[in-house]
Amino acid sequence: MMPDLPLDQVRTLLAVVDEGTFDAAAAALHVTPSAVSQRVKALEQRTGRVLLRRTKPVRPTESGAVLVRYARQLARLERDTRRELGLSGAGEPARVSVAVNADSLATWFFGALTQVTGLCFELHREDEGHTAELLREGLVMAAVTTAPEPVPGCSVRPLGRLRYLPAAAPEFAARLPEGPLAQALYEVPVVTFDLKDRLQDGFVRSLGGTGAGTLRHRIPTSEGFLQAVVAGLGWGLIPEPQALPLLADGRLVPLAPDVWVDVALYWQQWKLDSPALAALAEAVTETAAGALRR
């Protein structure tokens, strides 16, 4: 531990962020709330930065997030070291926190998890364009993301491309207005995942339009999104592994057979010599190689 960042102060900062309040952190650490407050203030004085937003729950500032990530990495290294030395608590399974997008969860990611034994997983579902932020905040150890540039303190490797196919139920497609597809799609309902989902808008813009229409159904699960499109609530971009069998049996029809959207995915993880992270990274990379397009 660096002498100017005392371990007890860094651990206390992490406890406050994880528990949400100074009182709850004090209970978790078996110290008084006053001691927690003094440690955080001392760490802020040492770094010359405000580390916490005194909200409910407490949230780290940008500088605080850097130290929180550092604290989690130290905890990970400590657990790995204890396990290798066979010390007390070494028999507990290693826990790995990962941020992953819903479509990867629904199509290929669980295949990677089944290849790794002896680990417990804590999955954070988030849009692939925002999973890197959870890494940056120190909330997860690894993430499936669309960010090719590594988060500070992390390594990155390409996984492949998840292809999305524009599709709709046959009855819905038959009611599309005549004329250019971009204009037709603007005039009819579209299914989106949530407010962060701009995939459908980008597809319509690639056809020369201004984006998808304002009649939007927000379905925040991959399975529910698919069911909504199959039911005819609107059109949407469906991950290829989900779309192909439904296109084959006629429950979906392609809206533009020669046009699709490819989303490049990357694996980012902490730069730690951690056997648990290394094993998971290899499993994810191997599974992605067989499931995603190169």
Mean pLDDT, to the nearest integer, of 208-223?
96
Residue 2: predicted pLDDT? 45
User: pLDDT tens digits, residue range 99-122?
Assistant: 999 999 999 999 999 999 888 999
* Domains of the chain, each with CATH number or no CATH: 1-67 (1.10.10.10), 162-262 (3.40.190.10)
**Phi and psi angles of residue 8, each rounded to the nearest 5 degrees, phi first:** -65, -35
Cα distance between residue 156 and residue 174, in whole Å: 44
Confidence at 138, pLDDT banded by 50, 70, 90: confident
Q: Please, which residues have CB within 8 angstroms of residue 93's CB and are 6 or more apart in sequence?
A: 118, 119, 120
- In whole numbers, what is the pLDDT of the chain averaged over residues? 92
pLDDT at 270 over 60: yes
Residue 88: predicted pLDDT? 54
Structure tokens belonging to residue 109: 């990611």
Helices 22-29 & 7-19 angle (0-180, nearest 10): 120
Residue 166: predicted pLDDT? 98
Of 155, 156, 157, 153, the closest CA to residue 73 belongs to 153
Of 49, 266, 264, 50, the closest CA to residue 154 belongs to 266
pTM above 0.85, yes or no: no
Residue 276: predicted pLDDT? 86
**Phi and psi angles of residue 145, each rounded to the nearest 5 degrees, phi first:** -145, 165
